[in-house]
Chains A and B, each alone.
Chain A
Amino acid sequence: MDLGPHAGFIVIAYAAAIVIVAGLIVWVVLDRRHLTRAVDELEAKGITRRSDEARKEMPKGTS
């Protein structure tokens, strides 16, 4: 595809857009991975979002 005399600017513009969008996607994905792993680790240790008293009163099988 002939992009004319200013092809360089067009290519760099599209490259910049791809980098920025990819950066956003990577940020969201990595953040999620880090957070779910941290939450899973804590839950494996038995820590939940409820305080100790509330947990004792909870029916088993919920968190």
Chain B
Amino acid sequence: MTALAAILMRDMRLAVRVGGGALIGVLFFLIVVTLVPFAIGPDLVLLARIGPAILWLGALLATLLALDRLIAMDQEDGSLDLILMAPVPLELALAAKALAHWLSTGLPLVVAAPLLGLLLNLDPAATGAVALTLAAGTPALTFIGLIGAALTVALRRGGLLLAILVLPLTIPVLIFGVAAANAAIVGPVPFGTPFTILCALTLISIVIGPFAAAVALRQGLD
């Protein structure tokens, strides 16, 4: 097994174990989506209209919460040093970790979204659109969050600061994700326009995220 595959499998196994973040993220997603109707009221028409936005916000917050574990955990138990000394480039190692993080934490959110869409009175077309945009956009959230995780790795209580740093950078993803979902549901903009931009954002973040995170990690651990 190559070093990168080993990192990938290790991170995924850790995430799905007890104490791992995988299903906790989905649980938080569920709770957030449940809270919104309590705050807004049970008006089903209104909920269906803002449903895509609620699902996207819930997914964003759930991803943010799970980011804490991405690098800080490895730093605490010393495995970060092993990764830094490994024969693989740091950028690729971080990309593998981010991929593992998305597979174990982000992808379950995408799977859970259609079920939660039922709570928000979304029809099947809308649910499909939201799930598709989440599938395309949650990797961007993870890879942008990777940068924040690397920046705050050395801070002990870095959790909230991490969220503050990452959120402004994820705003474009949120905007285009919801725009694409809404475009599929009500138009008039064709679904393809915001969706391709969303995919572009993901691809850009997959490249820039690991590079920026590697620089931040090297500078921060000197």
Chain A–chain B contact at Cβ < 8 A: no
Binding site for B on A (CB under 8 A): none
Binding site for A on B (CB under 8 A): none
